[in-house]
Every structure is written in structure tokens, then in C-alpha cells.
Amino acid sequence: MNHPVEEGATPAENRLPAEGSGEIPAAKEEVTTYVERLKRLQAEFDNYKKRTLREMTALEERVGDREVCDVLPVFDNLQRALEHLEKDGATPAFVEGVRKVVAQFDQILAQKGVSPLACLGERFDPAFHEALVCVPSDREKDTILEEFERGYLRSGRVLRPSKVKVSRGNPEAKEA
Amino acid sequence: MREKIIGIDLGTTNSCVAVLEGGKPEVIANAEGERVTPSVVAFTAAGERLAGRLAKRQAITNPRHTIASIKRKMGTDYRVRIELDGKVETYTPEQISAMILQKMKKDAEAHLGGKVVKAVITVPAYFNDSQRQATKDAGKIAGLEVMRIINEPTAAALAYGLDKTEDQTILVYDLGGGTFDVSILEIGDGVFHVVATDGDTQLGGDDFDQRIMDWLVEELRRDTGIDLTGDPSAMQRLKDASEAAKMELSSRKETTINLPYLTADATGPKHLERKLTRAKLEQMIDDLLAKSVRIVDAALTAAKKEPKDIDQVVLVGGSTRIPKVQELVAARIPGKINKEINPDEVVAAGAAIQGGILAGEVDEIVLLDVTPLTLSIETLGGIATPLIERNTTVPTEKTKTFSTAEDNQPGVEIHVLQGERKLAADDKSLGKFQLAGIPPAPRGIPQIDVTFSIDADGILHVTAKDKATAKSASITIKDSSRLDEAEIKRMQREAEEHAAEDRRKAEDVETRNRADQLVYQVEKALSDLGEKVPGSQRGEIEDQVRRLKEKLSQNAPADDLRRAMDELSKSSQRLAEEAYRSTATGADPSDQSSTEKRGQDEGYVDAEYDKK
């Protein structure tokens, strides 16, 4: 392509450094610096792209996790309602209906890769459980005695830890 | 690769780590996916050491071997005694802090995919030399080379770029989860001086949650006589709900706390449902906020300053999201309030910037220009079709393929536009040129590549090239990005103001274009199919085509056009179905597919034609 030459532009030959003027080594060094910087920038950009991809995947997972977490309290309360209905002598048909809704909820969670954490009688592990209270008991120390709120896993990650009551062991037995 | 220096906000309740990436501080999420990490450490019976969220979760089962708020003990001769399996070990506050720092380091390494050795760590402005030295030692124990210890308020000011301002006085109001700090800084020649500090080590967001909880417990007691304080599960639910309500009331005026089946007595399950308004919350925490203002006043007095002497206020800590807090600060101090950066992360962000400066990264950042406004070309019906969106970093190059709008159109005119408006007439015209010599072809067939290329100096080259003949024409526009700030603002504002109206106008034009395209297709189909179309059907369709053409020439409203198009599309579909049925065996498949493709392919945009 022919680019029109701007008026008043320096003629090309005047810009060439004179031989032996020391400008060529300086120019070479400048080129090296720029090439170095370009390479670094390219590498950083390449890494940035890779990391962005990784982060996008992680973000998608987290957004999915958060969505599920937002509806879990509704599920908790539905289960609480079911427990009370059974105790309070609601009509069997009504209890059965609510039980089916709970089962449906469970199924949807399973489809989303969400599974409940079994914890009763297990050994307390802070990677999966959050202790709300710790009481003396005849059970071995650190055994989970009661589940206050169910915990969930999603694709192996802890979505929400189980909120539990933990045994402190029997202090009297220890002293003996 | 240049070595990264991370910035760590080592807090009393929570810690946060950030790093400078591409000139901007990025907060690093921990292994648990959270952007802040609880400053809690634990030693388990199994001999494991835990730091962060996991340590916090097990705190109640292991209170004697769980350490929180160790920051309060930094620089003292306090020792943590850990007794496991009959063996007693003692740890200094530095060693405990180091376990938190080690976790931050590990999480940063996982994020950056390499070893991290160097760090900048922040401390409160009131920390004395031994506390600072202890923090530095904690870093060393964690395997970090502490490049610098900087003040938390200084880091916050750095995050807002206040180091680049002229001599100014800055007040940093830091209301965190459990502590409150006020610092007054002076900046001159890029150096910060702490003039005065004050604070309350037992005032923060947790107190606000507690007030809401107390209220809920009292409400339930009054209604049902039940005392929840002995029920850890219910209390935990109350605590979570109180915090959530507090946070929601920062963006809404009212929220509902709904806790079904919170507890039960002999009469059955008890639910808790209460409305909490922002006004009510403000009333609940009024005395706490008033206290914070008194502390601000005390700091001003200590600095021998008047409120009017403060040029900038920086808000730090999650609780400064509460509108009443911002209101009170603004009422007390007339200076500019900086609150745009996430207040939980602003200190770590500032530490990361300091790290970047020390690493020499900040100097090296080449500031690349962006295109201030969208660059488009005018297409059929006067629509501005964008090629390069505004805010694209230059240098950049984009190509889009266009076609002709008329059969045998000999050339196209490329009209280059700048602006955010949808119609060409409303945008700024940068220049026009012709691409002539397109060989005769039905409309939509020629492919003309239009390339917009902006070099690092902001010079725009536009080239149009006919793919079939390789003929091209181009234009160079020198001042595409040299609009002055005011003009850019004006154009952006106008685009926002006219957005709805412009969209409607553009839709009208697009409807007309589609109507025109439909007329063309149907007429072509009728002539292609010839005798295969029964006379009665042909008559009906020709009538509909004529009506649509009339409407087009009369500039009928878009709704009218759409109705006429619907009718015509329906009958032309029948036309196509019958034609296929009668010629199912004899048709030329390639011909059919090309006809269909032209009608459906949206990848082409008709360029405005210019018949010569």
C-alpha cells in the first residue's frame, strides 16, 4: 500500500544513524529490551488466558453451588415441617404428600450432584462438620451426637458443613 | 517471569491476600473458595494444625487449642500453651500468626501456579516497633521475605491512588467485624505520615449482629415465653439470620426474618417471622455509631485538625457498607468520601499495590489506550453497524463480511461512523469511501470484507475488499480517538438518553429491511418455480406481495408491515411445501439450499448500497 507521505516529515535517510556513531549498539540494545518485554508480555498473556479459563470453570461451579445453597434453607424447613407433622398427628394423606415433596426435592438435588453428608455417630472432622455445641457424654470424645442442620457435598466439595453436637467424652471416666 | 510480591492484610478477625495483576490488585480466593480467611489457628488431638475456616469450625470442640485474635497479643510476651498427649509446647504470637500467613502463602501459590516468597504485610497504624518487628518475624517463620510492613490506613489510601495527590489530609475510618480504628494521615511528595490514631478494640459488625439477635430472642420470649438462649441450634440460626438481615438492610429499606420451626414446646412448633426496617436497625445500633463518631472527634483533636481540614475520607471494613455509617461520617466531615473499593479487601489491595511498586511492576505498566466510542459503518436503512465496540483496548483489528442490497449492484459505499447511537445519522461521520467494480450478481451474493484496524497511536485504517475480485479500497482516519473528554462524555450521555428511542427506530428499520428481503425472496421463488405454482395460489401471493410493497413505499408503521409479512410468510411457506411435494424427485438440491441459505443466514449484513 502507498501511504501518502506527510508534509514536513523527516526524510528517511536523515534518520539512519551514521556508522560508528554508537547509535547502532544502542538501537540494538533497545530492540533486545523490547523483544524481551514482548516475550514476557506474551507469556503473561498466555498464562492469563489459561488461568482465566480455569477461573471461569471454578466460577461456574461456585455460582452453581451458591444457587443450591440459597434454596437449601427451604429444604431444611420442609424437613422440619415433615418431622412436626408426623408428631402432631396430621392426616396420613397430608403427611404422605409432604413426604413426596421432600423426596422430589431430594431427587432434584441429586440431579445437581448434591448429596447429603451422613454424620451421626461419625468422628467429628472440621473439613465436613461445624460444631455448635460440645457436651460430656458416654460416647467417645469427638463423636457426633446430634445433627442440627444437614450438611451437603457437591461433586466432592463441601457445599455446606453439617452443624452438629459433639461429645466431649466422659470426664469422670477419664479421671478414674 | 518477574517475581510477584503478594500483599497480605493480617487482620484480627479475618485476613485477606491480594496480588497485582496487569496493574490491578486482584484478591486471591482461598482453598475454600472464600476471599477472606478467618484469622484462627487450631491444634487438633490428632496432631494436625488447622488455619482459617476449618479451625473456626472446630473451635467449640477444642477451645483450649484453638486460637483466635492472636493479633491482639503481637509484640507481647504472651505464650500459647498447647498440651497434647501429655506433652506441653508453647508458641509465641509470632508463631501462631505465621500459621495464618502460611495458609495465605499456600493459597496464593495455588492461585499463581508458582512459589511465592515475597510479601508486604499490613499492621494497624498504632502498632509500635516491637509489634511491627513481631509481624515481620511471623512472616519470616512462615517462609516469607517481608519486603515491607505498611500501615493499614496507608494501604487503603494507596488502593485509592491517593499517593498521587498533592499535599492532602486523609481520614481512614475502619469499622471491621470486631475492631474500630480511625487514622489521620498526611500525604506529601508521595509519602504518608500518620498524624493521629484512635479506636476501640471491641467495636464492630459483630456487635450489630448481637443487637439484632437480642431483639429476636426477646420478641420470641414475649410472644411464647420460650427462652432460646439455651438452644445452640436455634441460636446459630438466629445469628446467621441476623447477619443476613443486617447485610440486606444496606441495600434495602426493609427485610423479613423468617425462621420456620425455630423451636417447639408442648403446644407445638414455634416459628419466628419479623419485619426489620433499616430505621429500626439504625435505632438499635445508634449508641454504637455515636461512639464511633466520638472517636473520630477525638482523633481530630489529637491531630489538631478541624473536620474541614480533611480532604479525603477512606472507608474500610465491611460495616462501612451500612448507609447510616456513611451518612454519619459525611455529616461530620465535608471531605470527599472514598468507598468504591470493596471495604473488606481494600487494605489487601493496597498492600498488593505496594508489592507491585517494590517489584518494579508498576513502573513498567504500559498504559494502553482504549477506543472511547464505538466505531461502525452505515448499513441498509441508515443503521450504524458496530465493528469495534467502545472501550476496546488498542491496537486492535476487526473484520466483518457485508453484502449488497440490490441485484447487480456495482459498488458499495463505506461510511465510517463513531458514536453509541443506533442510527447512522445521529453518530459522528469520520469519512466515506467507495468500493466499485463489483461484478454483477444477485443481492446478498457478493462478499465484502470490511476491516477496521486501529494502531497503537489511535490511527484507524478502514479497508473494504471484494472477496471475488480481491479489489479493495481504503481510508485512513487520523483523529478517531482524539476527541476531547467533554465531547466523549456528551456523546455517551446522548446515547443513554436516547437509548429507548434509538432502539425502536433501529427495530423499525430492521423490520423494513426484513420486509424488503421477504418481497425479494418470494418474487424470486415465484419466478423460479414458474408453472409449478397453481394459478389461484400465485394470484393470492402476488396480491400479498403487492400489498407489502405498497406499505413499504408508503413508509407504513412497523406493526402494519409485520402483519403483512406474517400473511405473506404463511402463504409462501405453503408455496414452498407444495412445490417440494410436486417436485420431490426432480428438484436440484444445490439450488434449493442456496435459496434457503440466503433467506436465513444472518451472518451477512447488507451494506448500504450506492448506485452509480
- Domain with residue A162: its CATH number is 2.30.22.10
List the one residue out of B4, B2, B7 whose CA is nearest residue B120.
B7
Cβ-nearest to A80 among B61, B261, B364? B261
pLDDT given for residue B406 in this prediction: 85
Whether residue B290 lies within 8 A of chain A, CB to CB, comes out as: no
Whether residue B113 lies within 8 A of chain A, CB to CB, comes out as: yes
Q: Are strands B383-388 and B375-379 parallel, antiparallel or unpaired?
A: antiparallel
Dig out the grid coordinates for B491 from the structure. 456523546
> Is B505 considered catalytic here?
no
SS3 of residue B323 by DSSP: helix
Tens digits of residue pLDDT in B535-562: 788 888 888 888 888 888 888 888 888 8
Report the domain count for chain A. 1
List the one residue out of B236, B322, B237, B245 whose CA is nearest residue B276.
B245
Mutation site, A51, A134, A150, interface B, largest B CB count within 10 A = A134
> Is B588 considered catalytic here?
no
Contacts of A139 in chain B (CB under 8 A): none
Using CB atoms within 10 Å of the CB of residue A153, give its burial: 0 to 12 exposed, 13 to 18 middle, 19+ buried: middle
Q: Which residue has the cell 463518631?
A: B293
Spatial separation of the C-alpha atoms in residues B198 and B299, rounded to whole Å: 6
Nearest-by-CA chain B residue for A73: B259
Contact A167, A137 (CB under 8 A): yes
Residue A101 maps to a domain: no
Whether residue B45 lies within 8 A of chain A, CB to CB, comes out as: yes
Spatial separation of the C-alpha atoms in residues B179 and B198, rounded to whole Å: 11
Residue A100 maps to a domain: no
Spatial separation of the C-alpha atoms in residues B247 and B208, rounded to whole Å: 11
**Sign (positive or negative) of CA dihedral B155, B156, B162, B168:** negative
Nearest-by-CA chain A residue for B112: A51
Spatial separation of the C-alpha atoms in residues B424 and B378, rounded to whole Å: 6
Spatial separation of the C-alpha atoms in residues B355 and B155, rounded to whole Å: 11
Residues 6+ apart with CB under 8 A from B596: none
**Partner-chain contact A124 B61, CB within 8 Å:** yes
Neighbours of B250 (CB within 10 A): 17
**Ranges assigned E (strand) in B308-459:** 312-316, 336-338, 375-379, 383-388, 396-403, 412-418, 428-435, 448-454
Residue A121 maps to a domain: yes
Cβ-nearest to A148 among B60, B113, B233? B233
- Helix and strand numbers (H, E) in chain A are 4, 6
Residues 6+ apart with CB under 8 A from B197: B124, B125, B126, B181, B182, B183, B184, B299
At B75, which amino acid appears? G
Helices (H), B452-557: 485-497, 499-529, 535-553
Mutation site, A65, A66, A102, A133, interface B, largest B CB count within 10 A = A133
- Dihedral of CA atoms B386, B390, B391, B392 in degrees, nearest 10, equals 20
pLDDT given for residue B154 in this prediction: 93
Spatial separation of the C-alpha atoms in residues B404 and B466, rounded to whole Å: 11
Residue A25 maps to a domain: no
**Partner-chain contact B61 A131, CB within 8 Å:** yes
Residue A72 maps to a domain: no
Cβ-nearest to B57 among A51, A133, A161? A161
Name the DSSP class of B230.
G
Longest distance between any two alpha carbons in chain A, whole Å: 104
pLDDT given for residue B366 in this prediction: 54
Spatial separation of the C-alpha atoms in residues A37 and A48, rounded to whole Å: 16
**Which of B94, B107, B137, B174 is the catalytic position?**
B174
- Report the gap between the CA of A110 and the closest CA in chain B (Å): 22
Tens digits of residue pLDDT in A121-135: 999 999 999 999 899
pLDDT given for residue A86 in this prediction: 81
Which structural domain range is residue A149 located in? 115-171
List the one residue out of B471, B477, B451, B462 whose CA is nearest residue B411.
B471
Beta bridge mates, B415: B432
Using CB atoms within 10 Å of the CB of residue A170, give its burial: 0 to 12 exposed, 13 to 18 middle, 19+ buried: middle
Ranges of chain B whose pLDDT falls below 70: 1-2, 362-368, 479-484, 578-612
Say whether pLDDT at A20 is over 90: no
What mean pLDDT is reported for chain A? 83
Dig out the grid coordinates for A111 from the structure. 440431579
Mutation site, A132, A160, A165, interface B, largest B CB count within 10 A = A132
- Compute chain A's Rg from CA coordinates: 34
Dig out the grid coordinates for A94 from the structure. 397430608
Residue A167 maps to a domain: yes
List the one residue out of B472, B271, A79, B588 whose CA is nearest residue B462.
B472
Spatial separation of the C-alpha atoms in residues A165 and A143, rounded to whole Å: 9
**Partner-chain contact B269 A84, CB within 8 Å:** yes
